[in-house]
Amino acid sequence: MEKAAASDADVVFLDLEDAVAPDEKDSARVKAIDALNNLNWSGKAVSVRINGLDTHYMYRDVIDVVEKAGKNLDLIMIPKVGTAADVYAVDMLVTQIEDALGYGKRIGFELIIETALGMQNITEIAGASRRNESLHFGVADYAASTRARVTTIGGINPDYLVLGDEDEQGHRTTDIGDMWHYAMARLVVAARANGLRPVDGPFGDFSDMEGYKAAARRAAVLGCEGKWAIHPNQIAAANEVMSPSEDEITRAKRILEAMEVAQKEGKGSVSLDGRMIDLASIKQAENLVGKAQAIAARTKS
Ligand code: GLV
Ligand code: MG
């Protein structure tokens, strides 16, 4: 927890759920409360992952953490969200504690979508509370819940491949597909349609940096804003992949300049380097430049 507080991660969550053995649930809660109250979290959003609503730990997690450390808590991460009512249940508890203790702030929610039920109900879940801030793809539990045939966290299964037709020499291409594509794309749509941030979850093999980066890049390309780091050595890679590159920023700025000229000339679309750009290009470029500016402002502070 000390390492996390001093790290370059933007958001840290302290886990009370699946990384904690059942007989350590009480002591983990005490340690998390102590860390919230006594470590320096400045410059970061700090969160606690409570146990799921299907356990008997969850009510105590919410009550103890919010009562004893709510002032230092930005977010609660709710795992295995299955229905909008799950979000309501936690919201109601948190609201009562915030009101009773007179906290003048609203603790936000990060929701992990990691069950077939959660994915099925993702639209209602995403809109279930004003506290909702982000949707996270929990690939490990999602694989377990859907009975996907994979045993690594966030890894791939080479059986998920497309075999090309034979060429003249009888060779066939094999392209491994991304078995998580549907889930990630679905999550990005539900998040964006409800004004939430989509975030990619864990990658278990922390010695495989290229594998981690490839997974992070796929998520970034689809629109995710971040990826979990389950080990300190994944943080720099996540920051690198999720930050727009110099080339992307330069091109986005050129698009904005070209469109400014076009608009002065009364044109809705023009060509830049032989490609058409239009009003949608402005929005894409503004997103990118805005993100780069937000990252730069954060790095300075
Ligand atoms: C995260 O909680 C996961 O199950 O991948
Ligand atoms: Mg999980």
Mutate to test the pocket of ligand 1, among 48, 113, 139, 145 (most ligand atoms within 8 A of CB): 139
Distance 114 CA to ligand 2 centre (A): 6
- What are the start-end ranges of the H helices in 128-245? 139-146, 181-193, 209-222, 235-242
Task: Give whole-number Cα distances, 294 to 12, 216, 219, 260, in Å.
Answer: 19, 20, 20, 22
Residue nearest to atom 2 of ligand 1 (CA): 138
Whole-number pLDDT of residue 253 = 93
Q: Is 201 in the pocket of ligand 1 (CB under 6 A)?
A: yes
Whole-number pLDDT of residue 300 = 64
Task: Give whole-number Cα distances, 83 to 75, 131, 141, in Å.
Answer: 19, 15, 16
Mutate to test the pocket of ligand 1, among 49, 112, 135, 151 (most ligand atoms within 8 A of CB): 112
pTM listed for this prediction: 0.94
Instruction: Judge contact between 118 and 81, C-beta under 8 A.
Output: yes
Whole-number pLDDT of residue 67 = 98
Whole-number pLDDT of residue 277 = 86
Among 27, 110, 42, residue whose Cα is nearest residue 72:
42
In the chain the first and final C-alpha atoms are separated, in Å, by 22
| Backbone torsions φ then ψ of 202, nearest 5 degrees | -80, 155
Whole-number pLDDT of residue 301 = 59
- Report the chain (301 residues): mean pLDDT per 10 consecutive residues: 96 97 98 98 96 97 98 98 98 97 95 98 98 98 95 88 95 94 98 98 96 96 97 96 94 90 87 87 91 85 59
Distance 204 CA to ligand 1 centre (A): 10
Domain ranges of the chain: 2-242, 246-300
Name beta bridge partners: 110.
77, 134
Whole-number pLDDT of residue 36 = 98
Residue nearest to atom 3 of ligand 1 (CA): 138
Residue with tokens 């992070």: 216
Q: For residues 142, 146, 150 and 155, what is the CA-based torsion angle, rounded to 10 degrees?
A: -30
| Backbone torsions φ then ψ of 148, nearest 5 degrees | -65, 145
Residue nearest to atom 1 of ligand 1 (CA): 138
How far apart CA 180 and CA 203 sit, in angstroms, is: 12
Q: Is 183 in the pocket of ligand 1 (CB under 6 A)?
A: no
CATH topology for 2-242 is TIM Barrel (3.20.20)
How far apart CA 53 and CA 79 sit, in angstroms, is: 8
Ligand number, closest to the Cα atom of 137? 1
